[in-house]
Amino acid sequence: MKVAVVGATGLVGGEILKVLAERNFPVTELIPVASERSVGKQVEFKGKQYTVVGFDDAIKMKPNVAIFSAGGGTSLNLAPKFAEAGITVVDNSSAWRMDPTKKLVVPEINAHTLTSEDKIIANPNCSTIQMVVVMNPLHKKYKIKRVVVSTYQSVTGTGKAAVDQLFAEREGRADVPAVYPHKIDLNVLPHIDVFLDNGYTKEEMKMVNETKKIMMDDSIQVTATTVRIPTIGGHSESVNIEFENDFDVEEIKSILAAEEGVILQDDPKNAVYPMPINAHGKDEVFVGRIRRDETQPNTVNMWIVADNLRKGAATNAVQICEALAKNGLI
C-alpha cells in the first residue's frame, strides 16, 4: 500500500508516521508530503529517512491513500485534486466534516458505512472522538437524550507553536511568539478556536454537530464548554449524560470495560482515574469517575481522557485506513 502523509512535518503528521509503524499498516511506499517550505526535509519512518515532497509530486506518485493533516485551507484546496486522481483522502481537518456528501468516521461506530464512492473521508475533531467512543455503546443500551460536556484540552491540539509557547513561559523565555491571546502556563483559557455569533466557540459547536452526525442521531442534544489547559498529554472531559432509560452504574462500567478501544480506570478510593499524563502516547480512550447524577433521573457523570494526537487524530485516521484496506476500498 502506497501511503502519503500530507503535513508530515507537523505534530499530528509525526504521530501518524508513528502509528502507521506501530500498528504495522502494510506500507510498501511512504510518501511524506508538505508545503514548499518543508520540501526536501527528512522525516523518519521505521528507522529510515524519507525526503518530503510537494503536493504535485505526491499526486503524480499515485498513493492508494493520502492522510491529510495540513489544515482546513490545504484540505479544501488539495483533497479534491487527490480524489480526482483516484487517491482516497482521509482528512484530519474540519474542512469536510459537516459536508453532507462526506462521511465523518469513528471506526468503532460507523466504518461499516464506507463504500468505494467515498474518496474524501473526514476524521472528526479530537474532543468529539473520545466522547462518542464512550457514549456510543451507552446510547445503544439506554438512548441518550442530552449531554453536558466541559473539556480540559491539551496545548498539543493547537500544534507545535502552542507547545513552544507553554514551555517558553514556563522557562521564563520571551523569545517565542504567543499563539494564544493570553498566557497559557499557570492559566486556563475558556476559548478554543474562534467565537461564533451564538456565543459558543467553533470547537464547542463541533462537539454538538459532529456527535449527531457520527452517531447518526439528530435527537442527541449536546451543550459544550471547551477549555484549554497547560498540559500536553491529552484532552480530558467532564461529561454529564441524561438517558431516556434508567441504568445501573455497575452495568455501565461493565459495558465500557468490554468496549473495544476503551479502558475503564475507575477506582477512586485508590486514586485510580484517567489522567492525561497516563493517556499520553496511548491509542485507547480512558474513562472513570462514573457516578450517578443525584440531581436528575437517568443521568450519569463521567470523566473521559484520551491522547488527542492519537485516538483524537492519528490513530483514528489510521484505523479508517485499516477499515478501508480490510474492505478492499483502497
Minimum CB distance to ligand 2RA smaller for 136 or for 154: 154
Binding residues with ligand 2RA: total (CB under 6 A): 9
Minimum CB separation of residue 12 from ligand 2RA in Å reads 8
- For cell 449531554, the residue is 147
Q: Choose the catalytic residue: 139, 235, 280, 321.
A: 235
Candidates 150-158, 170-178, 257-265, 277-285: pick the segment binding ligand 2RA (CB under 6 A).
Answer: 150-158
Q: Report whether 319 contacts 109 (CB < 8 A).
A: no
Interaction between residue 125 and ligand 2RA (CB under 6 A): yes
Is position 126 annotated as part of the catalytic site?
yes
Q: Which of 153, 299, 316, 319 binds ligand 2RA (CB under 6 A)?
A: 153
Report if residue 157 touches ligand 2RA, rule: CB under 6 A.
yes
Residue 15 touching ligand 2RA (CB under 6 A): no
Amino acid at 65: V
Residue 275 vs 309, nearer CB to ligand 2RA: 309
> Cβ(135)–Cβ(210) under 8 Å?
no
Question: Is 17 one of the annotated binding-site residues?
Answer: no
Q: Is 74 in the site for ligand 2RA (CB under 6 A)?
A: no
Residue 118 binds ligand 2RA, judged by CB under 6 A: no
Q: Is 9 annotated as a binding residue?
A: yes
Residue 127 contacts ligand 2RA per CB under 6 A:
yes
In angstroms, the CA 74 to CA 93 distance is: 9
Is 173 among the annotated ligand-binding positions?
no
User: SS3 of 50, please?
Assistant: strand
Q: Which stretch binds ligand 2RA (CB under 6 A): 51-59, 95-103, 153-161, 281-289?
A: 153-161
SS3 letters for the chain? CEEEEECCCCHHHHHHHHHHHHCCCCCCEEEEECCHHHCCCEEEECCEEEECECHHHHHHCCCCEEEECCCHHHHHHHHHHHHHCCCEEEECCCCCCCCCCCEECCHHHHHHHCCCCCCEEECCCHHHHHHHHHHHHHHHHHCEEEEEEEEEECHHHCCHHHHHHHHHHHCCCCCCCCCCCCCCCCCCECCCCCECCCCCEHHHHHHHHHHHHHCCCCCCEEEEECCECCCCCCEEEEEEEEECCCCCHHHHHHHHHHCCCEEECCEHHHCECCCHHHHCCCCCEEEEEEEECCCCCCEEEEEEEECCCHHHHHHHHHHHHHHHHHCCCC
* Least distance from ligand 2RA to the Cβ atom of residue 32, Å: 21
Taking CB atoms, the residue at the shortest distance from ligand 2RA is 157
Taking contact as CB under 6 A, which single stretch among the options 30-38, 152-160, 172-180, 288-296 is the one that binds ligand 2RA? Answer: 152-160
Q: Does 126 bind ligand 2RA (CB under 6 A)?
A: yes
Residue whose CB is less far from ligand 2RA, 158 or 319: 158
Pick the piece of the chain touching ligand 2RA (CB under 6 A) from 17-25, 64-72, 125-133, 295-303: 125-133
- The strand pairing partners of 96, in sequence order, are none
For the annotated binding site for substrate, the residues are: 153, 228
Residues with catalytic roles:
126, 235
For the annotated binding site for NADP(+), the residues are: 9-12, 37-38, 308
For the annotated binding site, the residues are: 9-12, 37-38, 97, 153, 228, 308
For the annotated binding site for phosphate, the residues are: 97
Report the interface residues with ligand 2RA, using CB under 6 A: 125-127, 153, 157-158, 192, 203, 308
